[in-house]
Amino acid sequence: MWRTRAAAACVICRSLANSSYGIKRKSPLQNLHLISRSIHHPYYPSSKFQRPPLRISIQLFSSLNRLPLHKTKLLNVKYGYQFHRNFWLARLASRLLKLRYLILGSAVGGGYTAKKTYDQWKDMMPDLDEYKWIVPDFIWELDEHIDFEKLIKAIPDADELAKLLPDFDKIGESFTSLKGFFSPGYNLVSEVIGASDLLLLLGSPGETAFRATDQGYDNDKQYKKVSDKEKVDQLQEELLRTQLKYQRMLERLEKENKELRKLVLQRDDKGIHQSKLKKSLIDMYSEVLDILSDYDASYNTQDHLPRVVVVGDQSAGKTSVLEMIAQARIFPRGSGEMMTRSPVKVTLSEGPHHVALFKDSSREFDLTKEEDLAALRHEIEIRMRNSVKEGCTVSTETISLSVKGPGLQRMVLVDLPGVISTVTSGMAPDTKETIFSISKAYMQNPNAIILCIQDGSVDAERSIVTDLVSQMDPQGKRTIFVLTKVDLAEKNVASPSRIQQIIEGKLFPMKALGYFAVVTGKGNSSESIESIKEYEEEFFQNSKLLKTCMLKAHQVTTKNLSLAVSDCFWKMVRESVEQQADAFKATRFNLETEWKNNYPRLRELDRNELFEKAKNEILDEVISLSQVTPKHWEEILQKTLWERVSTHVIENIYLPAAQTMNSGTFNTTVDIKLKQWTDKQLPNKAVEVAWETLQEEFSRFMTEQKGKEHDDIFDKLKQAVKEESIKRHKWNERAEDSLRVIQHNALEDRSISDKQQWDAAIHFMEETLQSRLKDTESVIEDMVGPDWKKRWLYWIGRTKEQNIRNETKNELEKLIKCNEEHAAYLANDEVTTVRKNLEARGITVDPCLIKDTWHQIYRRYFLKTALNHCNLCRRGFYYYQRHFVDSELECNDIVLFWRIQRMLAITANTLRQQLTNTEVRRLEKNVKEVLEDFAEDNEKKVKLLTGKRVQLAEDLKKVREIQEKLEAFIEALHQEK
């Protein structure tokens, strides 16, 4: 049977070889017709053939040339070959060859793709020579038991494999002629070719398979149309199954690779090679961006370093896309309300554990635990709300977050607030303009990659962000378009071709580097990343958009999007980072030159260094409080306390007691008054005086200039530290109770031990009375006006009221002269007498004015009398020791002032001990706490340490740090290449 078929094939071959269309062919067997070449026979192994004209009753199409087709007669077949059996065999061979080329092309293409992906992974893998201990020893000894050279020799070489393949060039020439017959199949093959980049390996066999069909008789045309359509559908399904098969293989290899890298990183994390580990490349780059975000570009050095800027309309799915790339639900979410209120910079890097942490915090959030994910979302929401100023809806302050995990693509993304078209109630009036300005500020960076997110479930005409992106990147050289919610779009859109127009960039006016379609879940906020991935893969596997070739395989899923964005990001980084480093180098030179010209003798101290210097000075000044001598403390305390209580002692204790008739009554009144004063007012007054004294001394040390070494740049900081420290300081509450007992005991003592103390008491009393007399004389002078000497010398006159008071004063002085032992208060009849006497001279006086004038006149008279009594008591110490027995002299007022003086000395000594032993140390502690709080408050430091010198040093430090980190990053980048 097989010999008969072979013989028939040989006859066909000879017929084809012996006939021609006027062209001699010297090609070998591989140039024959597909049917003839697919059947090997031993009859003419090396003959040269010329193709005879086909003698069949219908017009045939030749796949080998483009000459016009002719109707030919039926071939005369010898050796008993039957016509119907000949073409039945040809059709069967055509179908078998079609399937073989399809499988062979798919296998070769899939193998090529797998090898290419494996080579890329192999380049990314670290050197594992030091981890051979992980692999069992028998693996390394396989070459001793298996002869791999024999296996290699047993595999056919490339030339022999090439002979089995068809002539792709010749078959490709006939492709355009058959395009109209099998356009669905052609479109599918073209899409697969474009997705896999295997034009040479997959394209030609597929085309050949579609075109290797035989057209027999006219009565078989209708059957062939139906069968060809079924073949195309079957072929489409076969291609999709093959693609999914290799996709699953790649995912399995990727998962194994991820596990291996995780194992390696974990071993390094435990310290095996920790000394060799360096900071990752993306972390170095992220640090530069963090510094630049805090840098005020006062010297026209703009930040043009690349980052991926995620923009889109509100609720378009920006955050969901970013979460899929980060492989964790890390952002707060809400139903239709604005959740992203400030830019969030997310740095993705590879690590052994899936964790997240903020730039300014050391806490790690385990993204595999739901409680940590909830805490992270809550922390992000709190930071967003805290960054928004009062009266605003969004903030320009950037929140920096790092996410590490196995298999994450390394890149830096910035999630921006969603673009809105209308300001709703509860929003600030300028919310829309603020969001636009934030988006433009990030997108106007010429090296920023714009990830434009468009909601596929809404009408394209409602898009706002596409117009904004087209303005910032009209040529689309750095824009990647992402269509989200494709599952909803496929259900809702009446014409699926509209989705194809969007992905092909024909619907929107904007241009882009690439277009992607993704699905980010079913809209349920509780969905996990794994469930979303499974749903996305299942959707695209069954989607008509992919089966009908409206979408290409490499344009779908967030995984492909992540790979494309990462490649684009690093390409942009490599192209622009060195230029940015040169720009900051030039800026550094300009700043250093400006510093040398303006501050040639000063070191370049930035704000933090200046704060540390000021902190040391303030602490030194606080320590100086402990160096104040006890004598100085006691003198200040005693003087200040007496100034505070002298008025009460004179007015409420001494003057009322002095009005008594005998010494017994005087002493009794004094004791009662002193006891009341000690119980209620004196201890509190003493503590107030001590606290004020401590403040004054502290302020004196803080504000005292130290000659040429004084730096006025610290004045505002010192004043703020002083005020805050005093505000926080509280005196010991038990001090008043202990002080009350001490003061009470001191005032009860009446025993003056020697003449020196007696004279000191007299001197203290005289100073006090003279001071009071001087004040009283001044008050009287203001009441009655200048005397006759000043009026003549300075030409100053008296007012009408002063004249009335002067006449009243004269009348009252006459009253005192008449009765030198007059009481301190005027009687009513005496007031009436003085008023009538003045009215007799034509002066009308109010009784209140008479009493007021009398108070000052009697006070002056009393003080003068008391001073004269002091002089008499200078020799009264002898009588005091005898308790004034047999003596008309009584000096009880001297004893009172001695008791007051001694109480002041004991109180000052007690307060001094409390100051030096307790309060100074507590104040020093408060100052340290205030300085620590100020050190952590950058806004406070910026407010208190200002000036051109500070700003210049700050800019110089930032630029120098940026340049150094950029150079280190560039060096690491070159090493990675």
**Phi and psi, residue 515, nearest 5°:** -125, 135
Q: What is the mean pLDDT of residues 540-564?
A: 85
Give the pLDDT band (50/70/90) at residue 219: very low
Q: Judge contact between 518 and 558, C-beta under 8 A.
A: yes
**Phi and psi, residue 367, nearest 5°:** -80, -5
Q: What is the mean pLDDT of residues 50-66?
A: 38
Residue scoring higher pLDDT (645 or 796): 645
pLDDT reported for residue 88: 67
pLDDT reported for residue 148: 58
Give the pLDDT band (50/70/90) at residue 310: very high
- Is the CA virtual torsion 889, 893, 896, 901 positive or negative? negative
Instruction: List 312's β-bridge partners, or say none.
Output: 453
Tens digit of each residue's pLDDT (9 = 90 or more) over 288-299: 888 777 665 444
Q: 382, 387, 401, 258: which is closest to 322 by C-alpha?
A: 401
pLDDT reported for residue 184: 41
Three-state DSSP class for 415?
Answer: strand
Q: What is the largest CA-CA distance in the chain?
A: 179
Q: 652, 324, 683, 285: which is closest to 516 by C-alpha?
A: 324
Three-state DSSP class for 430?
Answer: coil
CA 689 to chain centre: 49
Task: Reply yes or no on whether the pLDDT at 490 is more than 50.
Answer: yes
What number of other Cβ atoms are within 10 A of residue 256's Cβ? Answer: 11
Instruction: List 453's β-bridge partners, or say none.
Output: 312, 482
Tens digit of each residue's pLDDT (9 = 90 or more) over 936-957: 888 888 888 888 888 898 888 8
How many separate helices (H) and strands (E) can be counted in the chain? 38, 9
**Distance between first and last Cα of the chain:** 63
Query: What residue has token string 């407010």?
Result: 943
Tens digit of each residue's pLDDT (9 = 90 or more) over 591-649: 899 999 988 888 888 888 899 988 888 888 888 888 888 999 999 999 999 999 999 99
In angstroms, rounded to a whole number, what is the distance separating the alpha carbons of residues 434 and 190? 46
Tens digit of each residue's pLDDT (9 = 90 or more) over 824-840: 888 888 889 988 988 88
Q: 728, 735, 748: which is closest to 677 by C-alpha?
A: 748
In angstroms, rounded to a whole number, what is the distance separating the alpha carbons of residues 612 and 624? 19
Run of H or E residues at 452: strand 449-455
Amino acid (1-letter code) at residue 294: D
**Phi and psi, residue 708, nearest 5°:** -70, -25
Tens digit of each residue's pLDDT (9 = 90 or more) over 234-290: 776 777 677 667 766 776 676 666 666 666 655 554 443 333 345 678 888 888 888
In angstroms, rounded to a whole number, what is the distance separating the alpha carbons of residues 503 and 561? 13
pLDDT reported for residue 14: 46
What are the tokens at 928? 């340290």
Task: Reply yes or no on whether the pLDDT at 11 is more than 70.
Answer: no
In angstroms, rounded to a whole number, what is the distance separating the alpha carbons of residues 221 and 30? 29
What are the tokens at 664? 């017994």
Q: Considering the entire predicted model, what is its pTM?
A: 0.54
In angstroms, rounded to a whole number, what is the distance separating the alpha carbons of residues 930 and 724? 7
Task: Reply yes or no on whether the pLDDT at 843 is more than 70.
Answer: yes
Query: What residue has token string 């610290």?
Result: 714
Q: 820, 823, 825: which is closest to 865 by C-alpha?
A: 820
By CB neighbour count within 10 A (0-12 exposed, 13-18 middle, 19+ buried), where does 388 fall? middle
Rounded alpha-carbon distances, angstroms, from residue 98 to 38, 190, 585, 755: 11, 17, 64, 136
In angstroms, rounded to a whole number, what is the distance separating the alpha carbons of residues 818 and 833? 14
Q: Judge contact between 604 and 595, C-beta under 8 A.
A: yes
Dihedral Cα 861, 863, 865, 870, nearest 10 deg: -170
CA angle 767, 673, 863 (to 5 degrees): 30
Task: Reply yes or no on whether the pLDDT at 336 is more than 60.
Answer: no
Q: 334, 339, 453, 351: which is closest to 402 by C-alpha?
A: 351
Give the pLDDT band (50/70/90) at residue 165: low
pLDDT reported for residue 634: 92
In angstroms, rounded to a whole number, what is the distance separating the alpha carbons of residues 62 and 65? 6
In angstroms, rounded to a whole number, what is the distance separating the alpha carbons of residues 517 and 484? 6
Q: Judge contact between 682 and 579, C-beta under 8 A.
A: no
Task: Reply yes or no on whether the pLDDT at 92 is more than 80.
Answer: no
DSSP state of 883: T
CA 947 to chain centre: 27
In angstroms, rounded to a whole number, what is the distance separating the alpha carbons of residues 231 and 240? 14
Amino acid (1-letter code) at residue 469: V
In angstroms, rounded to a whole number, what is the distance separating the alpha carbons of residues 266 and 270? 6
776 Cβ contact partners less than 8 Å away, ≥ 6 residues apart:
856, 859, 860, 863
CB burial string 596-617: b at 16+ within 10 A, e below: eeeeeeeebbbbeebbeebbeb
874 Cβ contact partners less than 8 Å away, ≥ 6 residues apart:
759, 762
Q: Judge contact between 73 and 55, C-beta under 8 A.
A: yes
Task: Reply yes or no on whether the pLDDT at 117 is more than 90.
Answer: no
CA 432 to chain centre: 22
**Phi and psi, residue 450, nearest 5°:** -95, 115
In angstroms, rounded to a whole number, what is the distance separating the alpha carbons of residues 666 and 895? 11
Helices within 729-822 (DSSP H only): 735-748, 755-784, 788-794, 800-818
Order of strands across the sheet with 308-312?
365-366, 355-358, 399-405, 344-350, 411-415, 308-312, 449-455, 479-484, 514-517
Rounded alpha-carbon distances, angstroms, from residue 528 to 118, 370, 531, 536, 663: 29, 10, 5, 12, 97
In angstroms, rounded to a whole number, what is the distance separating the alpha carbons of residues 163 and 842? 149
Lowest-pLDDT choice from 59-68, 92-101, 649-658, 892-901: 59-68
pLDDT reported for residue 15: 43
Three-state DSSP class for 329?
Answer: coil
Q: Judge contact between 588 and 582, C-beta under 8 A.
A: no
Q: 234, 212, 215: which is closest to 223 by C-alpha?
A: 215
Tens digit of each residue's pLDDT (9 = 90 or more) over 363-422: 899 988 899 999 999 999 898 888 888 878 888 888 999 999 888 888 999 999 988 888
Q: Judge contact between 454 and 502, C-beta under 8 A.
A: yes
Run of H or E residues at 414: strand 411-415
DSSP codes of every residue in 46-108: S---BPPPP--SSB---SS--SPP-B-PPP---TT--HHHHHHHHHHHHHHHHHHHHHHHHHH
- Is the CA virtual torsion 232, 238, 242, 247 positive or negative? positive
pLDDT reported for residue 481: 93
Q: What is the mean pLDDT of residues 810-826?
A: 86
By CB neighbour count within 10 A (0-12 exposed, 13-18 middle, 19+ buried), where does 719 fall? middle
Task: Reply yes or no on whether the pLDDT at 423 is more than 70.
Answer: yes
CB burial string 6-21: b at 16+ within 10 A, e below: ebbbbbbbbbbbebee
Q: 78, 81, 93: which is closest to 40 by C-alpha?
A: 93
Beta 365-366 vs 344-350: how paired, if at all?
Answer: unpaired
